[in-house]
Amino acid sequence: MPQWTSEFQHAGISVGDLDRAVAWYIGVFGFVEVKRFRKEELQVAGAVLQLGALSLEVLAPFAPVRPSPFPSSLVSHLRVLGANHLAFGVSDLAPCRERLEASGAAMLSPVIDGRFFFCADPDGTVLEIRKI
């Protein structure tokens, strides 16, 4: 065990359009924007969004690059090493799925076991939506 204390601080995603992504996460999930920043030395602009105890850092690189090749299916995506999705709990899957579909999210799976499904945000970040 480390000789220091630790805590999980936030998750971060990269997006192609900061304003669009912030509006999407606020509109779909109810995040609150708590901070905007620009880091010239890192070549990114960003925002910190808060939802309950979860902080999501949304980064817009000055020169975004998509991974190549992007996995062609959810199964292929889940095989890729490293961080591969964010999970959100919702009280009712059906209206959430409808809202996500209307927002332009790509549906990557049907509802599985009546408890969860996968989709992707407008920039391709995979999201798992679970019934709480």
Q: State both tokens at 9.
A: 């601080």
Model pLDDT for residues 118-132, shown as the tens digit of each residue: 999 999 899 999 999
- pLDDT value at position 68? 67
pTM of the model: 0.89
Average per-residue pLDDT in the chain?
92
CB 26 within 8 A of CB 18: no
Of 26 and 73, the one with more pLDDT: 26
Omega before residue 69 within 30° of 0, cis? yes
Token pair 């292929």 in the structure block, residue: 76
Q: Is the pLDDT of residue 110 over 90?
A: yes
What confidence score (pLDDT) does residue 38 get?
98
| Whole-angstrom distance, CA of residue 30 vs CA of residue 10 | 17
| pLDDT value of position 30 | 95
Structure tokens at 115: 């408890």
117 pairs with which residues across the strands? 129
Domains (range + CATH), the chain: 1-64 (3.10.180.10), 66-132 (3.10.180.10)
Mean pLDDT of 49-69: 90
Question: Rounded to whole angstroms, how far apart are CA atoms 46 and 36?
Answer: 6
